[in-house]
Structure 1
Amino acid sequence: MPKTALDSLLEPLRPYTQNTRKNTILLTSHGRPPWYGEDGKPLSDAFVIAVAGGSASGKTHVARQIVQSLDSVPTVVVLSQDSFYNRLSEEDVKIAHANEFDFDHPNSIDTGLFASCLADLKSCKQANVPIYSFSEHQRLKETKYLYGAAIIIVEGILSLHDPIMRSLYDLKIFVQCDSDLMLARRLKRDVKERGRTVEGVLDQYLRFVKPSYDNFVQPSSKFADIIVPGHNNSVAVDLISNHLRGKLTARSVRFRERMANVDRYLPLGAAGGTVLEEELEGPNLIVLPRTPQLKGIYTVLRDRTTRRGEFVFFADRLANLVVEKSMELLPFSPISVTTPVGVTAKGMKLTATDVCGVTIVGSGGPLEGGLSRVIRDVRLGSLLIQSHPSTGEPILLHTMLPSCVTDRRKSGDAWVFLLDAQIGTGASALMALRVLLDHGVKQEHIVYLAFIVARGGGIRVIRRAFPDVRIVCGALDDGLGEGWVSSETGERRRTWPIEPGMGSIGDRYYL
């Protein structure tokens, strides 16, 4: 069939109305750079944009145009107002299926939950966002876990109506569109995508949609910072995108080099000289006893001529030793048991109910096996943290955490072993610890496991920032060297390898 003028106007809306059964959240990620300072505390909130306008005005299209135009910036989340419809009773669901329920009135939105989830995401914490099913006219029991957004776009007809919600926005946008075009778009969308009749759509529009627009939606436009058209709005989107890039640049944090050269701006030993080993060690930094066995293991692991099979064998032995030492930091309580010969013996029982491991992907992998061998059926998660190819700063690319961490009701009681082969500059370690704290895990419940820690690196910054986090390692190395690496694009950036070190432990273990 030939394309009509109406089809041309509706075309921008089509790519974004395909997932209508469960109106979820769009998540795109280019890596989240540090959002905290060297003291470990957050420096800035996520940047929140509200996009309001009438039903089928093009709000979703504008929101996703902004996302597409920000293809070189960190994580962007689109949070839909539709996800926060109140749960309906069975009677109300029947009314909704008859197209007689008013979903356009402010009372249909669970504003308290909406504001709570947005406040958590804005303050860099995790949130569990509800999922709404249009076909079932119901908010589902399942939720969508979200964390790590640098930019949050809130989209909905009433997103500018509530003053509590408005107080959370950094930029407020209203999408203005002709009423006839909005009705035409709504007709085509609801009939094709939501299985409704033309008569039903028109009846609902006249009874609920139009009155809501006149009474609540259009009046809220006075709170907007920017009003953009519902179509042909590329100029407005470019202006908004440039504004966002400027805001993100102003909030950028860079400190890996300072952490690598920490001795230049932090006091050294008690006498102002080299940091003594006894000064560096303490209640929150535990180093394995230097036994002949341990020295022999490190000799094999440091030798560049050691073949992979032998390296894996001794790395696994070392992982067992580090994990077993770390187990001493978990809570135990006395218990009595009866032996096979009928005698009562006194012992100890682990009292922590939620113990899990979180691996920093790559270097932390060699410690996973040790943790699994020592703690049966331990739950494991991961953090993908890599260095930016140009700046060398850590960027958070992905989180996959155990349920006892992602569930806010459990995270305060969870004990987490954070697995990373070595702490050099400490930039990735600082990010990983900040992630766990953002989820509600207590500092004193985090045990950081490593094979090597560099005395002259960022370990002192980490200990100042998170004094209650315990770090268990096999050895303290002398310090950090300095070198350069080239990326696949030819960009060169500075690196600080641990000396004497073991090289790239993850590569030697897996490749």
Structure 2
Amino acid sequence: MSQSFLQQELQPASVSLKSQKNTLLISHGRPPWYGPDGQRTSDAFVIGVAGASTDVTHVARQIVKALGSIPTVLILSQDSFYKHHSPEEIKLAFESKFDFDSPHAIDMKLFASCLADLKACRQSNIPVYSFEEHQRLEETKYAYGATVIIAEGIMALQDPALRNLYDLKVYVQCDSDLMLARRIARDTKERGRSVDGILEQYLRYVKPSYDNFVRPTSAFADIIVPGQNNEVAIELISTHTRRQLQERSNSFRPKMVTSSSYSPDLINKPLENDPNLMILPSTSQLKGIFTILRSKDTSRQDFIFFTDRLSTILVEHALQLLPYSPHLVTTPLDVPSYGKKLDTKHLCGVSIQRSGSALERGFLRVINDVPIGTLLIQSNSQDGEPLLLDVKLPLLVRHRSSAQDTWVFLLDAQIGTGAAAFMSIRILLDHGVQQDHIIFVTFLVARTGGITTLRRAFPHVRIVSGTIDNDMREGWLEGDRGEGNEEGRKIKIWVMNPGMGQIGDRYYL
């Protein structure tokens, strides 16, 4: 495994990679999966791996290792989708008399539903199954953002709905003696089973099920892989996967700037006339705050103070975009008074790190006691494209049932090319947040940047900004030396004029 991988486990952190069932592995981050129109241009690439139980897991791990630095790979295990068992079934399971190797033991409908969401770049909540308790638990594990999904399990090719979701179908063929040896080693170490119980279950259920249900699914496979000495087959799978991802890639950020700069909408409809783009009134107070924030001679202490002050003003202004309902109260003088109260079911904030975090203090000053999540989106050092590196959204957004009723304040310091803003909005929509429930709060918007493309793609998102900067100029930045950029070549960037500099650096460093 490449040492550059960061692991976001869908199992507890104490579980080693070898014993994990569902694991999300992130290397360079997820590149854009959508076009300038805001619509998805590519799905996740899905590999289905079926065969003997221990062998499919082994081959899935081999594929991950062979893929190397492919961004964001998710291993999704069929074992998570065992059905909820009755007390009688649990009793049989502890006596090694329950058939876990039958297709009827697996919730194929739920498995296909979760995989379909992940393939379509939507979030999913994966069930958690306890082998110690022989029961599906009430909790679920959140998963989102995979570029490659490896769905592995003995019945992975058995269900037609699952097969229709795979871009590549793999069957692992293994000698029965090796299959039994690996099963004994796994179940004694990872599941606390006795050898006698493992053998009894193997002879009564596992081997007959393998012969009757698993082996016949090899007819659906695109490639059959040996259980051992399979380096050539693994390399073929990884090479094919890389080629497919390369064909699906798109150059997104330059399109944002170019399409906005020459858009007829920009000429015929000034930004100030957009009803969903609210610019703060240009008062003397606001001009004074921006003068301080733009100056390179402003001390860090003053920069933090006036940044917090400006973010407070912006969030206060954005509050008027939330729904309110009539409300009757009784004053201390026992007089009825008619007013308004906030009429939202759920409310949260999400900051785009790290410059968006500079608005968090102002946000919490105005809206108290609401959850705040974060999105880590950075530019690729090789081509400047946005990369999704980390997602930590509030629980309200992680579940689609509550996300659709949630209002989200999306916080970032500026909208220049709009690449990070575009990706952040797309992420929220993938989770089920309604477009008109997103309020983007920012200090600056670049007139000739990506704002026009952003507004065209997401016309119902409201944006609240302190002011508009008229120009974007191209520049060059030294790229980080590393894989694909060993010489540290320069990458193209776009800078706002007059701008406020690197706001995150000025606020935190």
Q: Could you say which residue in structure 2 is the equivalent of 1:46?
A: 44
Q: Could you say which residue in structure 1 is the equivalent of 2:130?
A: 133
Q: Could you say which residue in structure 1 is the equivalent of 2:8?
A: none
SS, match of residue 334 in structure 1:
strand
CA distance in 1, matches of 2:191, 2:124: 28
CA distance in 1, matches of 2:344, 2:433: 14
CA distance in 2, matches of 1:74, 1:148: 10
CA distance in 1, matches of 2:160, 2:94: 31
SS, match of residue 148 in structure 1:
coil
Q: Could you say which residue in structure 2 is the equivalent of 1:150?
A: 147
Q: Could you say which residue in structure 1 is the equivalent of 2:392?
A: 400
The code of the aligned residue for 2:405 comes to D
Q: Could you say which residue in structure 1 is the equivalent of 2:484?
A: none
CA distance in 2, matches of 1:303, 1:52: 62
CA distance in 1, matches of 2:410, 2:19: 35
The code of the aligned residue for 1:403 comes to L
**CA deviation map 1:361-400 (0-9, x unaligned):** 1110111111100011021000000000001000001100
CA distance in 2, matches of 1:175, 1:167: 19
Indicate which of 60, 71, 81 corresponds to 2:78. 81
Indicate which of 438, 448, 463 corresponds to 1:446. 438
Q: Could you say which residue in structure 1 is the equivalent of 2:170?
A: 173
The code of the aligned residue for 1:460 comes to T
Query: Pairwise mapping of residues 83-482 of structure 1 onto structure 2 (< 5 A)?
Result: 83-267=80-264, 269-270=266-267, 276-278=270-272, 281-482=273-474
**CA deviation map 1:156-203 (0-9, x unaligned):** 001001111111111000011111111122223323433323222221
User: Is the 1:21–1:134 contact (alpha carbons within 8 Å) kept by the matching residues of 2?
Assistant: no
CA distance in 2, matches of 1:108, 1:303: 66
User: Is the 2:345–2:406 contact (alpha carbons within 8 Å) kept by the matching residues of 1?
Assistant: yes
The code of the aligned residue for 1:33 comes to P
The code of the aligned residue for 2:107 comes to D
SS, match of residue 142 in structure 1:
strand
Runs of 4+ in 1 over 6 A off after TM superposition: none
User: Is the 2:125–2:142 contact (alpha carbons within 8 Å) kept by the matching residues of 1?
Assistant: yes
**Superposed displacement of residue 270, structure 1:** 4.9
User: Is the 2:260–2:453 contact (alpha carbons within 8 Å) kept by the matching residues of 1?
Assistant: no
User: Is the 1:386–1:394 contact (alpha carbons within 8 Å) kept by the matching residues of 2?
Assistant: yes
Unaligned runs of 5+ in 1: 1-17
Q: Could you say which residue in structure 1 is the equivalent of 2:33?
A: 35
Q: Could you say which residue in structure 1 is the equivalent of 2:495?
A: 497
Q: Which moved more, 1:360-369 or 1:65-74?
A: 65-74
Alpha carbons of structure 1 residues 74 and 349: separation in structure 2 relative to 1, 3 Å: same
CA distance in 1, matches of 2:318, 2:499: 22
User: Is the 1:20–1:133 contact (alpha carbons within 8 Å) kept by the matching residues of 2?
Assistant: no
The code of the aligned residue for 2:222 comes to D
Matched positions, count: 489
SS, match of residue 497 in structure 1:
strand
**CA deviation map 1:377-431 (0-9, x unaligned):** 0210000000000010000011000111111111111000000000000011100
The code of the aligned residue for 1:504 comes to Q
User: Is the 1:22–1:133 contact (alpha carbons within 8 Å) kept by the matching residues of 2?
Assistant: no
SS, match of residue 264 in structure 2:
coil
CA distance in 2, matches of 1:96, 1:277: 65
SS, match of residue 364 in structure 1:
helix
CA distance in 2, matches of 1:282, 1:390: 35
**CA deviation map 1:212-261 (0-9, x unaligned):** 01100000000000001101111111111111111111011112122223
Query: Cα RMSD over matched residues?
Result: 1.6
Q: Which moved more, 1:394-403 or 1:331-340?
A: 331-340
CA distance in 1, matches of 2:364, 2:492: 35
CA distance in 2, matches of 1:178, 1:501: 66
Q: Which moved more, 1:429-438 or 1:133-142?
A: 133-142
CA distance in 2, matches of 1:234, 1:269: 55
CA distance in 2, matches of 1:94, 1:35: 47
Alpha carbons of structure 1 residues 428 and 192: separation in structure 2 relative to 1, 3 Å: closer
**Superposed displacement of residue 338, structure 1:** 1.3
TM-score w.r.t. length of structure 1: 0.93
**Superposed displacement of residue 22, structure 1:** 8.5
The code of the aligned residue for 1:382 comes to T
SS, match of residue 481 in structure 1:
strand
Alpha carbons of structure 1 residues 197 and 99: separation in structure 2 relative to 1, 3 Å: same
The code of the aligned residue for 2:436 comes to E
CA distance in 2, matches of 1:20, 1:96: 26
User: Is the 2:261–2:448 contact (alpha carbons within 8 Å) kept by the matching residues of 1?
Assistant: no
CA distance in 1, matches of 2:441, 2:171: 50
SS, match of residue 242 in structure 1:
helix
The code of the aligned residue for 1:258 comes to K
Alpha carbons of structure 1 residues 319 and 414: separation in structure 2 relative to 1, 3 Å: same
SS, match of residue 448 in structure 2:
coil
SS, match of residue 53 in structure 2:
coil
CA distance in 2, matches of 1:22, 1:335: 55
User: Is the 1:21–1:133 contact (alpha carbons within 8 Å) kept by the matching residues of 2?
Assistant: no
CA distance in 2, matches of 1:76, 1:386: 19
**Superposed displacement of residue 265, structure 1:** 4.2
SS, match of residue 261 in structure 1:
helix
User: Is the 1:23–1:131 contact (alpha carbons within 8 Å) kept by the matching residues of 2?
Assistant: no
CA distance in 2, matches of 1:324, 1:484: 37
TM-score w.r.t. length of structure 2: 0.93
Alpha carbons of structure 1 residues 207 and 454: separation in structure 2 relative to 1, 3 Å: same
**Superposed displacement of residue 44, structure 1:** 1.1
**CA deviation map 1:248-281 (0-9, x unaligned):** 110111121222233554225556xxx7454xx3
The code of the aligned residue for 2:48 comes to A
SS, match of residue 321 in structure 1:
helix
CA distance in 2, matches of 1:151, 1:138: 29
User: Is the 1:358–1:381 contact (alpha carbons within 8 Å) kept by the matching residues of 2?
Assistant: yes
SS, match of residue 373 in structure 1:
helix
Q: Could you say which residue in structure 2 is the equivalent of 1:12?
A: none
Q: Could you say which residue in structure 1 is the equivalent of 2:506?
A: 508
SS, match of residue 97 in structure 2:
coil
Q: Could you say which residue in structure 1 is the equivalent of 2:10?
A: none
Alpha carbons of structure 1 residues 95 and 268: separation in structure 2 relative to 1, 3 Å: closer
**Superposed displacement of residue 497, structure 1:** 0.7
SS, match of residue 49 in structure 1:
strand
